[in-house]
Structures are given as C-alpha cells and as structure tokens.
Amino acid sequence: MSYEEDAGAMAEERERLARLFHDIFTLDRRGQEIYAYLYRKFARSATVHTSGGIDAILQTYHDTARASVVRHISDLMEEGAGVSGDLAG
C-alpha cells in the first residue's frame, strides 16, 4: 500500500469514527450520560497545581492528559457533526 493509499484509508477511518462518536455521544441518551460522566470525572477537574514542587508539576501533567482524552472525544463528536475547523488532535 502506498503512502497516499494509507493516508486515505486513515482519513476514511477517522471520518467513520467521527460519525460514530457523534451518533453515540450526541444522539444516544446513554452516550450523553457517559460523556457527561467522563467530563465530570476527567475534564472539569483538570487544574494547575502550584504547591508541592515536582509532585505538583506531575499532577498537573496527569490532569491535563486525562482532560485531553475528553477533548479528543469532543473534537471527534464535532467533526462527526460536520463542524469545521482544525479538530485534529
């Protein structure tokens, strides 16, 4: 498979997954509840920790990483809904 074919297949897979994420997390009530839980658990609680030296820095990175997963899900949901913009991440 050539690079162009591989890139095309990856783009098609991302588009398929984006539509799937949109359908599950936007249209399906169960998916909405799961997304709300993930947001509350991981994204909303992400903060910058300022006390504790290196431990604070590590905790900040940990929180940011957890929140980035929820942002990635949101980006795919928006992409699947046809929202334009730089959503790749």
> Taking the CB of residue 73, how many other CB atoms lie within 10 A of it?
19
pLDDT at 75 over 90: yes
For residue 48, what is the DSSP state?
-
* pTM over the 0.85 mark: no
Residue 24: Cβ-neighbour burial (10 angstroms; 0-12, 13-18, 19+): middle
pLDDT at 48: 84
- Directed axis angle between helix 3-22 and helix 54-80, to 10°? 90
How many residues are there in the chain?
89
Asked if residues 62 and 1 have their Cβ atoms less than 8 Å apart, the reply is no
Residue 41: Cβ-neighbour burial (10 angstroms; 0-12, 13-18, 19+): exposed
Pull the structure tokens for residue 47. 């903060």
Q: What is the mean pLDDT of the chain?
A: 88
pLDDT at 83: 85
pLDDT at 87: 45
Domain extents for the chain?
A: 3-80
Q: List pLDDT tens digits, range 17-43.
A: 999 999 999 999 999 999 999 999 888
